[in-house]
Every structure is written in C-alpha cells, then in structure tokens.
Structure 1
Amino acid sequence: MSGTAESLLARMLGKKLFVVLWKAHEGAQLGPVLHEHLQFMIDLEKRGVLFASGPLSGTPGDGLSVLRAASMDEAQAIAERDPFVLKGLRTFDLREWTVMEGSIGLTINCSDRSVALA
C-alpha cells in the first residue's frame, strides 16, 4: 500500500467510541450485584449503546467496556449508572477512543438463520 500517511489516514474509519476501564475495589463482593449489572449491560447492548464488554484477566472484578456515546459526558453518565458503581464496588477510568483500523467479520447463513461473528 502506498501513499502518504495523510492519504492513508483520510480513508480510515475515524469512529469515536468511549472505553471504560473498570476497577473493582479490593475485596469487593460482586456476586450479589452481578445479576443487576448483567441486566444493565444487556439493556445497553439491546439499545445499541454497548459495542463490547467483558472481564479482564488478572484481577477479579476488573473489566473493559466500549460505549457508543455522543460525548464524554454522556459516556460518564452511562458508566456512573452501572450497579457495581452505584453500590460502591467499582470505579472506572473513561477514555475517548478513535477506531482507525481493524476488521469485523459477520456470516449470516440464510438456510438456518444462524449468525456467526469472527
């Protein structure tokens, strides 16, 4: 692939998303609130707000979520409504992320209505 950096950048996606890095408080008991947290995240997913989310390896209770939001303030408000945060079990660091490169694979099989994400 040839061209200047500027010409390559001009063709890239440039989609603004927000990354939430969740940090569980030491000794936090997340289990009793897990169902409520999962319902919250599934609701965000169904409304198209949650791009991706899940736990991070290493420290139990830590995680990462990627949100679609119009602004940092909106993403902050969403993260603050997480039940783990509301109950004082987690804190978070919020960062704006610009998606430039990458790929997402999707296969839709019409014969059995199955969908696979790669």
Structure 2
Amino acid sequence: MSQSDTSQPTAQDMMASMLGLNLYVVITQPVRGEGIAERLKDHLNYQIKLEQEGKLFGAGPMFGEDDDRPEAGLIILRAKDRDEARALADADPFHSSGLRSYTLKRWKLNEGSMTFKVNYSDQTMSVL
C-alpha cells in the first residue's frame, strides 16, 4: 500500500466518529489548611448532590509522586457551558468559603472506555 492510498481514514475522519463529549474539569487547590476538615462533610454532600443530579462525571483527590497526602482535587462536571460549570464550582463549600481556589478547563472526551460488572444473583455492581 503506498503512502498516497486514500482508502485509509484521515485523522479528521477518525476524530469525527469519536465521542466528542464536552465536560468541564475543575482542578482545586488548597488556599489555607485550617477549616478544611470542618467543611469536608459539606463538600462531600455537595459532590453527592451533583452526582445524584447527573452533573458530576467524577471527582477525587490527586496525589504527588512521593506523597500519600492529596495535593489537589479533580472534579469533572457535566454542564451545558462554561458559565454553568463555573456556577457549580463556585457553589462548592470549599470554594465558596475561600478554603480552596480552582482552575476551570473545558475537556473534550474522545477516547477511552468504561466497564461495569453487574451480578444479578446478589444485585451487586462494580466498576472495572
């Protein structure tokens, strides 16, 4: 097959068939340490509320290479646009109280996969 063979899809052709789901990534950093433990339950309840509303794709702490303690947090939101994503991030109790600051980025999810296992017999589920 020569390099001029046009039967192979172009990169643009390949990308056109990918998911192309726009999500918003919130990278959250501590501003001050005191007070975080006291607001953690409020933050977690807010995350669970977003999850139940279908607005939270995923969230959790991020760790450095040699550290067992989280150094930042990552929150991935489903939002119709940047303004909605910013409003959701602003309402997080860690952010609204000034305990954490954040950076907001739009992320286009193209590749990857997700695998679930559902056991009918005991009605359990796991993410693999």
The aligned runs of 1:15-94 (5 Å cut-off) are 15-58=21-64, 60=70, 62-94=72-104
Q: SS in structure 2 opposite 1:56?
A: strand
Deviation at 1:4, TM superposition (A): 1.3
Structure 2 Cα separation of the partners of residues 5 and 35 of structure 1 = 45
Runs of 4+ residues deviating >2 angstroms: 26-29, 58-61
Deviation at 1:26, TM superposition (A): 3.9
> Which sections of structure 2, spanning at least 5 residues, go unmatched?
1-7
Whether the aligned pair in 1 keeps the contact of 2:63 and 2:71 (CA below 8 Å) is no
Deviation at 1:45, TM superposition (A): 0.6
Deviation at 1:20, TM superposition (A): 0.2
Q: Spell out, residue by residue over 1:7-62, the C-alpha distance to the aligned partner (whole angstroms, 9 max, x if none).
A: 11111000000000001114343100001111000000111100000011136462
User: Which deviates the most, 40-49 or 55-64?
Assistant: 55-64
Structure 2 Cα separation of the partners of residues 8 and 115 of structure 1 = 33
Deviation at 1:92, TM superposition (A): 0.5
Whichever residue aligns with residue 20 of structure 1, its letter is V
Whether the aligned pair in 1 keeps the contact of 2:32 and 2:100 (CA below 8 Å) is no
Task: Check 1:98–1:18 CA distance in 2 against 1; reply closer, same or farther (3 A cut).
Answer: same
State the aligned residue count.
117
Q: CA RMSD in A?
A: 1.4
Whichever residue aligns with residue 14 of structure 1, its letter is G
- Report sequence identity in percent: 40
> Which sections of structure 1, spanning at least 5 residues, go unmatched?
none
Out of 102, 105, 124, the residue aligned to residue 114 of structure 1 is: 124
Structure 1 Cα separation of the partners of residues 107 and 34 of structure 2 = 28
